[in-house]
Amino acid sequence: MNRISTADGTRLFVRDWGSGQPIVFLSGWTLSSDAWGYQMTPLSERFRCIAIDRRSHGRSDDPGRGYDYDTLADDLAAVLDALDLTGVTLVAHSFGGGEAVRYLTRHGTRRVKRLLLLAPAGLPCRRQLDGNEGVPDEMIGQLVDTIGHDFPGWIEANALPYFMPDTPRAVIDWTARDMTRTSLLATVALTRLQMTTDFRAELARLDVPTLVIHGDADESAPIDLTGRPVAAMVPGAQLVVYEGAPHGLYFTHQRRLNEDIARFAGC
pLDDT for res 93? 98
For residue 132, what pLDDT is reported? Answer: 57
The per-residue pLDDT for 66 is 98
pLDDT at 124: 61
Name 25's bridge partners: 51, 91
List pLDDT tens digits, range 158-193: 988 999 999 999 999 999 999 999 999 999 999 999
CA dihedral 255, 21, 32, 109 (to 10 degrees): -120
Mind telling me the catalytic residues? 94, 218, 247
| Rounded alpha-carbon distances, angstroms, from residue 234 to 31, 202, 203, 205 | 26, 9, 5, 7
pTM for this model (two decimals):
0.95
Element (H, E) at 23: strand 22-26
Q: Which residues of the chain have pLDDT under 70?
A: 1, 124-134, 267
Cβ contact 126:98 at 8 Å: no
pLDDT score of 13:
98
Spans of all domains in the chain: 3-266
The confidence score (pLDDT) of residue 125 equals 55
Laid out side by side, the sheet with 112-118 consists of 3-5, 11-17, 48-52, 22-26, 88-93, 112-118, 210-215, 238-242
Output the CATH code of domain 3-266: 3.40.50.1820
For the stretch 144-153, pLDDT in tens is: 999 999 999 9
Question: Which helix (H) or strand (E) is 159 found in, with range?
Answer: helix 151-162
117: exposed, middle or buried (C-beta count within 10 Å: 0-12, 13-18, 19+)?
A: buried
Which pLDDT belongs to residue 134? 66
